[in-house]
Amino acid sequence: MSVELVTNQTPINILQSVFGYKSFRNQQEAVIEQIISGGDALVLMPTGGGKSLCYQVPALLLDGTAIVISPLIALMQDQVMALRLFGIKAAFINSSLNAEEVNEVENRLIGGELDLLYVAPERLMMSRMLSLLDQEKISLFAIDEAHCVSQWGHDFRPEYIQLSVLHERFPSVPRIALTATADETTRTEIIQRLALDQARVFNDGFDRPNIQYRINENQGNAREQLLRFILNEHEGDTGIVYCLSRKRVDQIAQWLEGKGLKALAYHAGMSNDVRQHHQERFLREEGVIIVATIAFGMGIDKPDVRFVAHLNLPKSIEGYYQETGRAGRDGLPANTWMSYGLQDVITLRQMQHGSTGEENYKRIEGHKLDAMLGLCEITTCRRQAMLRYFGDEMGEPCGNCDNCITPPQTWDATEAAQKAISCVHRTGQRFGVKYLVDVLLGKDDDRIIQFDHHRVSTFGIGTELDNKEWSTLYRQLIASGFLRVDFEGHGSVKLTEAARPVLKGEQRLTLRRMLKSSKTKLRKTRAFAATANNALWESLRQHRTELAEDQGVPAYVIFHDATLAEMTERQPQTLKQLSNISGVGESKLEAYGESFLDIILSHSKADPFIDKSDTVQETIELHNQKLSPQEIADKREMTLSTIYKHLSRGIEMGELKITDVLALEENEIKIIQSVFEDCEDGKLKSVYEELNGEYDYGVLGCVKASLGN
Ligand code: ADP
Ligand code: ZN
């Protein structure tokens, strides 16, 4: 292999100095090592896992230009802008550029001026482009969204098939293929079609631990539930609300807007201009809620989407995972929320039934919907079930889905199910759910009398449940396949084979009990926990917005929420301290450091909790001269506990390392940290007692300060 390193930098140096991040995540470093040693890689990482750094860091380390192939043309400009703010030389070529602009980029490529060049696949495959690349030094090829090569997947792109040419034409250039969709079949197909059989496969699994999953029953008030969810937990946040139809999209967007929220519609039936404009606002402004059909999302790469809500049922777990996956790409907590009801089940089944696909295809689609319904009705951990569906096992329940947080009650529904099924049978399998429920409740109704159903044995035998409870039960029976809805018979409910054992009493049924009201108390997701510093947080965001508008880039390109949240929490007082914040690399420090620091400093003046004198700094300096805490205390004529407070502040600000401050083994520190984490109130006193007074308060304070790092 003919890769050459251009610098004597290491991957971790680049990560810290250019990107401003402290450490690599999961397999990032291993992937980077593989590429810079000249090998190929197939990287399977969930959305938000950090795939881009896997090729961006090698691009900076290796001689030549890295070629990044991506189908997401709309994103290229923002991606390239984001890289430039990190001080990286990047450009893109796609159909949005005119001939002159293309020429200019090509000249920069020829001049060896580019670290990274993003190209659309169809552009790359033009013979002109390929022969240009023949003459240049190419450091690597990164094939983003590699699943687009799979003909069975949902995002198939014919141009991707031709990418195997790269291997033949540039055999010595390392290739890295990346995707977040990677079931076994797709993976095999990627390897085969891109000739990646020599590639090392890096698989980080599918889990998105920062996403909370919640699925609610629609009790006829989904819209209000949604509003409550947004107002209670996500006021001012960016979010996506998915609806099934265009009409519903328009209605919901208007309704939310009427409630004072910044909600915009997005669907294929709108004029191009308006749609573009809405997407643009979603990307650039803070706190926009986009209400959309599932057409929205592909190619949306906004990292700070705090919630994704579904007012309809996705067609499959794959769809659900992908759509909810647009939340929380930045790794900060994000919520997903869905409301579903009987009508969703009927509508989706009907759509599938009416589709013109082959029988085999329809059957597979039917199974996928069944699996999705199973996920809705399940009473155990939703994440475990979802990961299992994708072939990942997760040992323990996740603790971050609705079923884990408020375990649903279940009940023995056998007898009720027998009544419900029997009622379908007695009335001739010709009626819909509403009618069946009326019969069970013994309602005085003209239609029932007309059909003589007030004389059947199930008439009025169901008064132990109410209207809603029976509807829920029917939904569950349909969702679990004991009953089915016949579309040729205008939505009438029919028995399936599976109903027989239940009717005969051979099978017992345990079902999820319907929630009487949705007062479940769940965590409030915010980018950061400390509400005390709301004012600073808002000022920093405001400043970011202004900068972003000036430069015509989305706000997150300047700094992510996570970075602003850390600034808010730690309140750095010097540029050096600011540079320790994750996401503040050298180039951004130079461009924005002063102005953000000014805001923090003027805020600190008003904050009594910030130590404004240099006393902390003085202690830190003495510590750096290798004085022990006791020696510092003696020298400064201060109490030992004050010195420990200074040291813990230094740890908190990222200036000191806990292992340098305390004369304890790393393991011992870890144990104390875990006691803090397990401790409910997180108070020093509780931890002190838990550890039987073995460690002084000063020591514990330092450990506590290290927890955020
Ligand atoms: P993906 O392409 O896998 O969806 P990205 O590459 O866009 O994910 O990364 C998601 C987010 O995580 C980005 O905002 C990125 O800057 C951030 N990130 C990636 N790796 C790290 C890391 N090692 N430390 C901190 N942040 C990281
Ligand atoms: Zn769970």
What H or E segment, with its residue span, contains residue 265?
Answer: strand 263-266
| pLDDT-derived band at 418, boundaries 50, 70, 90 | very high
pTM of the model: 0.73
Crossing angle of helices 615-624 and 629-636, rounded to 10°: 130
**Among residues 612, 528, 617, which one has the least CA distance to residue 568?**
528
Confidence of residue 640 (pLDDT cuts 50, 70, 90): confident
Angle between helix axes 561-570 and 534-551 (nearest 10 degrees) is: 140
What is residue 606's predicted lDDT score, i.e. its pLDDT? 66
Does residue 221 share a domain with residue 187?
A: no
Check which CATH number belongs to the domain holding 600 and give it: 1.10.150.80
47, 53, 321: residue to mutate for ligand 1 pocket, most atoms within 8 A of CB: 53
Gap between the Cα atoms of 21 and 85, Å rounded? 15
Q: Is 11 in the pocket of ligand 1 (CB under 6 A)?
A: no
Strands 41-44 and 175-179: parallel
Ligand nearest to the Cα of 385, by number: 2
Residue 346 pLDDT: 81
Q: What is the pLDDT of residue 354?
A: 76
Domain annotation covers residue 682: yes
CB 325 less than 6 A from any atom of ligand 1: no
pLDDT (0 to 100) of residue 9 = 87
Whether the pLDDT of residue 419 is over 90: the answer is yes
Which helix (H) or strand (E) is 525 found in, with range? none
| Ligand 1 contacts CB of residue 49 (under 6 A) | yes
Ranges 149-153, 217-221, 245-249, 282-286: which has the least confidence:
149-153
User: For position 698, which CATH number holds?
Assistant: 1.10.10
CA separation for the pair 520, 214 (Å, rounded): 11
Identify the domain boundary among 585, 604, 623. Answer: 604
Evaluate if residue 525 carries a pLDDT over 50.
Answer: no
Any bridge partners for residue 291, and if so which? 241, 265
Give the span between the Cα atoms of 443 and 460, in whole angstroms. Answer: 7
Check whether residue 199 and residue 216 sit in a common domain.
Answer: no
Pair of tokens at residue 79: 């991606």
Q: Which of 650, 662, 667, 664 is nearest to 709 (CA)?
A: 650
CA separation (Å) from 463 to 217, 457, 466, 470?
22, 14, 7, 10
Domain span holding position 172 = 11-203
Cβ 54 vs Cβ 32: under 8 Å? yes
Same domain, 595 and 620: no
The whole-chain average pLDDT of the chain stands at 88
For the CA of 23, the closest atom of ligand 1 is 23
| pLDDT of 677 strictly over 90 | no
Average pLDDT over residues 337-357: 82
β-bridge pairing 41-44 and 200-203: parallel
Strand partners, 157: none
Residue 3 in any domain: the answer is: no
Ligand 1 pocket test: pick from 13, 22, 23, 25 the residue with the most ligand atoms within 8 Å of its Cβ. Answer: 25
Res. 196: pLDDT tops 80: yes
pLDDT surpassing 90 at residue 195: yes
Q: Please indicate whether residue 178, judged by its CB atom, sits closer than 6 Å to ligand 1.
A: no
What pLDDT is stored for residue 523 in this prediction? 45
% of the chain beyond a pLDDT of 70: 94
Residue 53 Cβ inside 6 Å of ligand 1? The answer reads yes
Nearest CA to ligand 1 atom 25: 21
Confidence label for 129 from pLDDT (cuts 50, 70 and 90): very high
pLDDT reading at 215 higher than 60: yes
In 3D space, the residue among 346, 347, 305, 348 whose CA is nearest the CA of residue 323 turns out to be 305
Looking at residue 524, its pLDDT comes to 47
* Same domain membership, residue 418 and residue 475: yes
Q: Across-strand partners of 338? A: 215, 310
Contact yes or no for 16/584 (Cβ under 8 A): no
pLDDT, tens digit, 9 for 90 and up, residues 444-465: 999 999 999 999 999 999 999 9
Residues 176 and 232 in one domain: no
- Of the listed ranges 57-61, 146-150, 160-164, 679-683, the least confidently predicted one is 679-683
Give the integer Cα–Cα distance in Å for 555 and 280. 12
Does residue 619 contact residue 632 with C-beta atoms inside 8 Å?
yes
Q: 280 falls in which pLDDT band (50, 70, 90)?
A: confident
Please say whether the beta carbons of 287 and 309 come within 8 A: no
- Residue 677 CA, ligand 2 centroid: distance in Å: 20
Share of the chain above pLDDT 90, in %: 52
Burial environment of residue 395 by CB neighbours within 10 A (0 to 12, 13 to 18, 19 or more): exposed
Residue 483 is given by DSSP the state E
List 264's β-bridge partners, or say none. 290
The amino acid sitting at 525 is: T
Residue 394 sits in the same domain as residue 246: yes
Q: For residue 690, which of 702, 674, 705 has the smallest C-alpha distance?
A: 674
Give me the residue label for tokens 């929490």.
569
487, 512, 537: which is the final residue of a domain? 512
Is any atom of ligand 1 closer than 6 Å to the C-beta of 306? no
- Are 376 and 403 within 8 A, CB to CB? no
Residue 1, in any domain of the structure = no
Flag whether pLDDT at 532 surpasses 60.
no
Whose Cα sits closest to atom 18 in ligand 1? 50
Q: Write out pLDDT tens, residues 92-111.
A: 999 889 999 999 999 999 99
The pLDDT of residue 592 is above 90:
yes
Strand partners, 309: 241, 337
Q: Is residue 507 predicted with pLDDT exceeding 50? A: yes
pLDDT score at 153: 66
Q: Are residue 635 and residue 681 in the same domain, yes or no?
A: yes
Model pLDDT, residue 516: 56
* 337 sits in which H/E element: strand 334-340
pLDDT tops 60 at residue 390: yes
Task: Check residue 527 and give its pLDDT.
Answer: 45
pLDDT at 553: 84
Indicate whether 150 and 197 sit together in one domain: yes
Domain count, the chain: 5
Q: Does any domain span residue 517? A: no
Question: In this predicted structure, what is the pLDDT of residue 653?
Answer: 81
List CB contacts of 622: < 8 A, sequence separation 6 or more: 631, 632, 635, 636
Of 478, 512, 546, the position where a domain reaches its end is 512
In DSSP terms, 92 is beta-bridged to: 118
